[in-house]
Structure 1
Amino acid sequence: MKKQVDFLTDEGMSLGKGSNEVISYMHHFFTHFGVGETDVDLHCDNRTGQNKNNFMLRYGTWQVAHKLHSTLNIHFLVAGHTRFALNCGFGLIKQAYKRTRVSTSPK
């Protein structure tokens, strides 16, 4: 069964969107909130450039090499195309998040 999981963070609490922060968030998610997935598809918006993309590829390789996932596919947008189909849903999620009481305790 396919399942989409969205991991939301408060932008006011973030230190940035560089490779260290993004990979730390991803690793924290997989470690604490993973749903037993073996195959992962990640979609990236390509905004901060090549350096983060290289680190993302290395992180994906590390995940598979350590058998934390069987496959980890990373999809990047074509350069110059910042409109991303999945982003349309995030605005709706963000609106609901602002109006809903949210538990911050793990599982």
Structure 2
Amino acid sequence: MQNLPQFRTYGVFTEDDNPLEEYLSSPIENVDILAYWKAKSKDQQWIPLVKMARDYLVIQATSVPSEQMFSVAKFTINPTRNRLNPDKVRASLCLKTWFAAGLIEEDFMKDNDLNNE
């Protein structure tokens, strides 16, 4: 038994400190949704929900913003960058949208070493 590696457990919550249960049971309030999730991103316990919120908040609600997204995309996919992997294009457009919305800080690329991928 002494030769077994030590394992850390992640994501184990009791009923009292489960962020999903806390979110679902909280009263509905009129708040700035971007500020709400930005504040929650500072608490490690909320990170999975914050990531999920970012994925859903980036979805455009009407056709006009999606047309704007195509305009933005033409600067990402240009004659010299026409072989980008679809996942890289999607990630790049998400990052641009998140920067514009203030969901991520300017240092995000450096802090997460995304420039080397």
TM-score by length of 2: 0.28
**Higher RCO, 1 vs 2 (CA within 8 Å, ≥6 residues apart):** 1
Kindly indicate which of the two structures has a greater share of residues assigned to strand. 1
Which is richer in helix?
2
TM-score by length of 1: 0.29
Tell which structure's C-alpha radius of gyration is larger.
2
